Amino acid sequence: MKVYPQSDLLKSLPKQFFASLVMKVNQSIQEGFDVINLGQGNPDQPTPEHIIQRLQSAAENPINHKYSPFQGFRSLKEGAAQFYQREYGVTIDPDKEVAILFGGKAGLVEIPQCLLNPGESVFVPDPGYPDYWSGVALAKAEMITMPLKEENDFLPDYSELSSEELEKGKLMFLNYPNNPTGAVATNEFFEKTVKLAKQHDICVVHDFAYGAIGFDGQKPISFMQTEGAKDIGIEIYTLSKTYNMAGWRVGFAVGNESVISAINLLQDHLYVSLFGAVQEAATAALTESQQCVQELNDLYEKRRNTLISGLRSIGWEVSAPRGSFFAWLKVPNGFSSEEFADFLLEKAHIAVAPGIGFGSWGEGYVRVGLLTSEERLQEAVDRIKGLNIF
């Protein structure tokens, strides 16, 4: 068989760090060990029943057996606008300020290709979601990393950016509640962001994937709530986490009309649109009862409390996340993040994600997902206690 060489573009893509983690976990499972997998970011609860029922009935409608409109049904865009008005008091024009996405990841990877020319620069949080890097690579752009440090509550310090970097940067990724740190943004931080973006002509892309998950009675704020945010950026929302619809691949972007238009133009060349029945189910999720969202948030908060109190009880000094379904834990002295992840997998059969996989400033931490039962989280605590390292 002839082997065809890959393009230079494919070769430029960042290596998938977590592929090696998956291989290690699978190997341990194949060897017969009961692995508690806390390294994943895949919601473990089922999609709410009323959303499934809407998909089932919509799938029987012949209109959904045809190509759906290129940029999606207006009903879903209206649903997104209704959602933002209800949840955040933000007015969104469904015709000009909403783009339907094949999941939030698609929008995040597409946006650099929509707005950047080769050689232009993107501000990227470090640590951060690795697929930001993929979009930058596909656009042949360059990254300027913004360190997220614990002393700054894992918010970037814009004063650390040089005048040269601010001149070069055309796009900025932000993500709060944050993956991997579990940090949340403040109104003051978003106000600083809008001011900076206006001063330096930067388009801000706020990844709001974990927007529904906030703890201690604090609801995460939307970037779009900040005065002027719609002038200088967009927000990307996915139904994956809010409604346990990760496998459905549906999300949307809202905000600046010119950016939304650019996304729609690129997607016109890549796709037709989402299966109509998925769009109908997504509309139901956004516009009908939100009780399932509150119940899910409560579930994650109970899991967080079980994990954090348990780890503290065995002597591991850890901070509790304020949002998202991840905890960001400092590794013990004497370990790198990857060494500690390997140690936990080998000695306790617990999988966690090494912080270095999210960027150089992730070194010294591991990410733990709250995506298994309280019983399994307590068992993980007990296994770690048995290692006698704290």
Three-state secondary structure call for residue 220: coil
**For residue 5, what is the DSSP state?**
P
CA distance linking residue 106 with residue 13, whole number of Å: 15
Q: Which residue shows structure tokens 């995506």?
A: 371
Measured between alpha carbons, how far is 201 from 215 in angstroms, rounded to an integer?
Answer: 34
- CA-nearest of 344, 323, 264 to 21 is 344
Q: What percentage of the chain reaches a pLDDT higher than 90? A: 91
- Residue 163 burial class via C-beta count within 10 angstroms: exposed 0-12, middle 13-18, buried 19 and up: exposed
CA dihedral 271, 78, 91, 82 (to 10 degrees): -120
Place of tokens 């042949």: 140
17 pLDDT above the threshold of 80: no
Checking if the pLDDT of 154 tops 90, the result is: yes
pLDDT reading at 150 higher than 90: yes
pLDDT of residue 152 exceeding 80: yes
Arithmetic mean of pLDDT, 62-78? 94
Q: What is the largest CA-CA distance in the chain?
A: 62
Q: What is the distance between the alpha carbons of residues 202 and 8, in angstroms, rounded to a whole number?
A: 28
The highest-level CATH class for domain 51-287 is alpha beta
Cα–Cα distance, 355 to 366 (Å, whole number): 5
Percentage of the chain modeled with pLDDT above 70: 100
Cα–Cα distance for residue pair 168/59, rounded to 1 Å = 48
Residue type, 210: Y
Residue 16: pLDDT band (50, 70, 90) is: confident
For residue 86, count other CB atoms closer than 10 A to its CB: 12
Report whether 177 contacts 211 (CB < 8 A): yes
Q: Tell me the C-alpha distance between 110 and 139, whole Å.
A: 9
Query: How high is the pLDDT of residue 65?
Result: 95
One-character DSSP codes across 170-207: EEEEE-SS-TTT-----HHHHHHHHHHHHHHT-EEEEE
* For residues 53-63, average pLDDT: 96
Q: Which of 206, 150, 202 is nearest to 175 (CA)?
A: 206
Residues of the chain with CATH 3.40.640.10: 51-287
- DSSP assignment, residue 40? -
CATH of 8-46+292-385, one of 3.40.50.170, 3.40.50.720, 1.10.357.10, 3.90.1150.10: 3.90.1150.10
CA distances from 180 to 352, 353, 356, 375 (A): 12, 9, 11, 23
Q: What is the predicted pLDDT for the residue at 87?
A: 97
Rounded to whole angstroms, the Cα distance separating 101 from 114 reads 14
What is the rounded distance in angstroms from the CA atom of residue 211 to the CA atom of residue 307? Answer: 21
Please compute the mean of the pLDDT values over residues 124-141 and round it to a whole number.
95
Q: Is the pLDDT of residue 249 over 90?
A: yes
- Beta partners for residue 125, in sequence order: 146
Backbone angles phi, psi at 78, to 5 degrees: -65, -40
What angle do helix axes 131-138 and 104-115 make, rounded to 10 degrees? 30
Q: Look up residue 350 and give its amino acid.
A: I
Taking residues 238-249, what's their average pLDDT? 96
Domain with CATH 3.90.1150.10 in the chain: 8-46+292-385
pLDDT value, residue 126: 97
Helix (H, G, I), strand (E, B) or coil at 242: helix
Tokens of 66: 């045809």
User: What does pLDDT average to over the chain?
Assistant: 95
Kindly state the average pLDDT of the residues 142-155.
Answer: 97
Task: Quick: pLDDT tens for 343-373.
Answer: 999 999 999 999 999 999 999 999 999 999 9
206 close to 233: Cβ distance less than 8 angstroms? yes
218 by Cβ neighbours in 10 Å (0-12 / 13-18 / 19+) ranks as exposed
Kindly give, in sequence order, each residue whose CB lies less than 8 Å from that of residue 124, ignoring residues fewer than 6 positions away.
132, 133, 136, 143, 144, 145, 146, 173, 359
Residue with tokens 């967009």: 234
Residue-wise pLDDT tens digits, 294-349: 999 999 999 999 999 999 999 999 999 999 999 999 999 999 999 999 999 999 99
pLDDT at residue 72 in the model? 92
